[in-house]
Amino acid sequence: MSAPHSTSQIRVRYGETDQMGVAYHANYLVWCEIGRTDLIRSLGPSYAEMEQQGLRLAVAEASVRYRAPARYDDVLSVETRLEKVQSRFVTFAYRVLLDEPAGPGDAGTLLATATTVLVALDDQGRTRVMPGHVREIFEQLAVRT
Amino acid sequence: MSAPHSTSQIRVRYGETDQMGVAYHANYLVWCEIGRTDLIRSLGPSYAEMEQQGLRLAVAEASVRYRAPARYDDVLSVETRLEKVQSRFVTFAYRVLLDEPAGPGDAGTLLATATTVLVALDDQGRTRVMPGHVREIFEQLAVRT
Amino acid sequence: MSAPHSTSQIRVRYGETDQMGVAYHANYLVWCEIGRTDLIRSLGPSYAEMEQQGLRLAVAEASVRYRAPARYDDVLSVETRLEKVQSRFVTFAYRVLLDEPAGPGDAGTLLATATTVLVALDDQGRTRVMPGHVREIFEQLAVRT
Amino acid sequence: MSAPHSTSQIRVRYGETDQMGVAYHANYLVWCEIGRTDLIRSLGPSYAEMEQQGLRLAVAEASVRYRAPARYDDVLSVETRLEKVQSRFVTFAYRVLLDEPAGPGDAGTLLATATTVLVALDDQGRTRVMPGHVREIFEQLAVRT
């Protein structure tokens, strides 16, 4: 991911830790969504209009590989990249890095990688083809990254 | 709370613990909502119809006193009682008890008490008076407990 | 998964929904953990002893395929199966089914499938080989399912 | 709260919304903790040392008044003030304000107020008196706000 399009900073919350003393694994999906949202926000008003026209993107697949634990108060960075655009699907890839460790740990350590596939839904929750201009927006984003 | 109307059982999830090794404090509000939902469900279809008529109940105030920690895998019981009914508000009271400790701890220990005040909203999110028949349902519930 | 070893029932909580009106996707990892915990609990005291001897199982990989949404108050069943045992890793597979729909929806609908790979860690958080008797316990579980 | 000591910015996450289309009420306790942590972090290394000496602060009481809903993608500010210091307890007060509304809504709107009482615990989880120098640190913070 030499040219991540979007980098989001996240500080690990106390409530995100578990009794093993590290960030609970389900939170990584929440952090990836923050990365994805930040990336999509960079599309500007186009996306909000898209939602108003009844297009929704829902998570159809998610996978995470955990490499090293995140700890309370660590500052993480989530790099998000748009990996693939299809007529009904958009695939995002993520790298979660330790940016500023709160305790021992090396800045820059890769903590996790993840991918999510999102599916385009209409306002009834049925799979649909993305409108041409929406697909184009995503394709430009994929090219730029 | 000699005659709790509803008792809900909850097993503490791993993801609900924090690095202090106990259940994170914000989860008690989630558990109280489970108790409240179970109590309201006992009202039968009346409540679902109520929602279809555009009445919503939103949390306007919440307070919790934490007395002893809950731990991973403990089975808790949440006793929920309807405490007060007003034209626009309904007050619920809760007792969270240790039912089956997973480790050391005494069954029956009171872990927390809580109250929440719910406000009736219309489908635009504005405060509204509850319809007479809804208020009556809640009042009977308050009497019975 | 013709012979799931463990089936766990879960009722979707209000706080688990998001503004799309369905259960938020990260919660499926929490539900899978409940299934896994229930399965592991069936191992009896052996597992608790294992933890006391400093062995931990941490999630190393997780993937979920979302097929149909879960909604508030739906009762779900999570079927958990132990799929593979290696010297340092244990793989679990899950099926999340709609057991009792709260609204429209068909009981028995497959909502999601998932797998998680857990890695054995020592009490310093380093990868370790599982002790022989622990591996045997897991292997018997894998055979029985 | 004319002189809040600490102001924390929080953007409402998608997973923090519920099916009513607003931020789920239990999250406000999480946000208050972020405010409290930011305030305590400003104490510098003293607090970390305090923890190493076996002093913990656990939430003993929490109460929230919800005035207006927060919505997805809204940027909130949490103002945290240290309200009272006693030998075993520290009381924090919070104001959650709408800082940058993502949709309709007025910047500066007060969304919620809250207070939490924290109790000093030793490393066995028993209530204890705070060491004199820790109490002094908190008292200076209370004076300064």
For D1-47, write each residue's pLDDT tens digit.
Answer: 444 578 999 999 999 999 999 999 999 999 999 999 999 888 776 66
Share of chain B above pLDDT 70, in %: 92
**Maximal CA-CA distance, chain A:** 49
Shortest Cα distance from A26 to chain B (angstroms)?
8
Chains that touch D (3 or more CB pairs under 8 A): A, B, C
Query: How many Cβ contacts (< 8 angstroms) between chains A and D?
Result: 19
Q: Which two tokens stand for residue A124?
A: 């009834």
Q: Which two tokens stand for residue C68?
A: 């149909």
Rounded-to-integer distance, Cα A60 and Cα C66, Å:
5
Contacts of C59 in chain A (CB under 8 A): 25, 66
The mean of the pLDDT values for chain C is 90
Q: Does ipTM surpass 0.90 in this model? A: yes
Residue D140: per-residue pLDDT: 80
List Cβ neighbours of A28 (8 Å cut-off, separation of 6 or more).
A64, A66, A96, A112, A114
Nearest CA to A76 among A2, A13, A141, A139?
A13
CB distance A19–B17 less than 8 Å? Answer: yes
Long-range contacts of B49-53 (CB under 8 A, 24+ apart): B50/B131, B50/B134, B53/B131
What's the sign of the alpha-carbon dihedral C82, C84, C88, C89? negative
Rg of chain C over all Cα atoms, to the nearest angstrom: 16
The model's pLDDT over B84-114, given as tens digits with 9 standing for 90+, comes to: 999 999 999 999 999 999 988 899 999 999 9
Give me the mean pLDDT over the A58-76 stretch: 97
Residue B49 has pLDDT above 80, yes or no: no
Chains that touch B (3 or more CB pairs under 8 A): A, C, D
The mean of the pLDDT values for chain A is 90
Q: Which two tokens stand for residue B69?
A: 């920690």
Residue A132 has pLDDT above 50, yes or no: yes
Q: Under an 8 Å CB criterion, which residues of A touch D? A: 11, 13-15, 30, 33-34, 37, 41, 73
Chains that touch C (3 or more CB pairs under 8 A): A, B, D
**How far is C-alpha C104 from the chain's CA centre?**
26
The secondary structure of C115-136 as a DSSP string is EEEEEEE-TTS-B-PPPHHHHH
List Cβ neighbours of A104 (8 Å cut-off, separation of 6 or more).
none
CB distance C30–B37 less than 8 Å? Answer: no
Q: Which two tokens stand for residue A45?
A: 């008003």
Nearest CA to C89 among C66, C59, C53?
C59
Shortest Cα distance from C64 to chain A (angstroms)?
5
Q: Which two tokens stand for residue A139?
A: 């394709």
> What's the Cα-to-Cα distance from B106 to each of B3, B64, B101, rounded to whole Å?
22, 21, 7
Residue C44 has pLDDT above 80, yes or no: no
| Amino acid at site D136 | E
Beta bridge partners of D81: D93
Burial of residue D48 (CB within 10 Å: 0-12, 13-18, 19+) is: middle
Residue A34: per-residue pLDDT: 96
CB distance A15–D37 less than 8 Å? Answer: no
CB atoms within 10 A of CB A126: 8
Nearest CA to C75 among C109, C41, C36, C113?
C109
Residue B139: per-residue pLDDT: 86
Contacts of C110 in chain A (CB under 8 A): none
Residue C50: per-residue pLDDT: 74
What's the sign of the alpha-carbon dihedral A122, A127, A129, A134? positive
| Nearest CB to D26 within list C15, C17, C26 | C15
Mutate to test the interface with C, among B9, B10, B14 (most CBs of C within 10 A): B14
Q: Which segments of chain C does DSSP mark as H helices, in order?
A: 27-41, 45-52, 132-144
CB distance B15–A18 less than 8 Å? Answer: yes
Q: Which two tokens stand for residue B99?
A: 């039912």
Residue B47: per-residue pLDDT: 66
The model's pLDDT over D69-115, given as tens digits with 9 standing for 90+, comes to: 999 999 999 999 999 999 999 999 999 999 999 988 899 999 999 99
Sorting pLDDT into bands at 50, 70 and 90, what band is B45?
low
Count CA within 13 A, CB hemisphere, residue D42.
18
Query: In this predicted structure, which of A38-47, B59-68, D65-74 has the lowest mean pLDDT?
Result: A38-47
> What's the Cα-to-Cα distance from B56 to each of B22, B25, C59, D71, rounded to whole Å?
33, 26, 39, 17
Contacts of C14 in chain D (CB under 8 A): 18-19, 24
List Cβ neighbours of C71 (8 Å cut-off, separation of 6 or more).
C12, C17, C21, C22, C23, C101, C102, C103, C105
Residue A45: per-residue pLDDT: 66
Contacts of C109 in chain A (CB under 8 A): none
pTM (two decimals):
0.94
Q: Are strands C56-66 and B110-121 parallel, antiparallel or unpaired?
A: unpaired
Q: Which two tokens stand for residue A79?
A: 């790099």
CB distance B26–A15 less than 8 Å? Answer: yes
Which backbone phi and psi does D135 adopt, to 5 degrees? -60, -40
Contacts of D15 in chain C (CB under 8 A): 18, 24, 26
| Nearest CB to A30 within list C26, C59, C64 | C26
Q: Which two tokens stand for residue D25?
A: 């009420």
- Most confident option among A53-62, D12-21, D136-145: D12-21
Higher-scoring residue by pLDDT: A106, A47 = A106
Give me the mean pLDDT over the C80-98 stretch: 96
Shortest Cα distance from B67 to chain A (angstroms)?
19
Give me the mean pLDDT over the A85-91 stretch: 95
Residue D45: per-residue pLDDT: 66
CB distance A56–C125 less than 8 Å? Answer: no
Contacts of D26 in chain B (CB under 8 A): 26-27, 29-30, 33
Rounded-to-integer distance, Cα D118 and Cα D125, Å:
13
Count CA within 13 A, CB hemisphere, residue C141.
29
CB distance B19–A21 less than 8 Å? Answer: yes
Higher-scoring residue by pLDDT: B113, A104 = B113
Residue D126 has pLDDT above 70, yes or no: yes
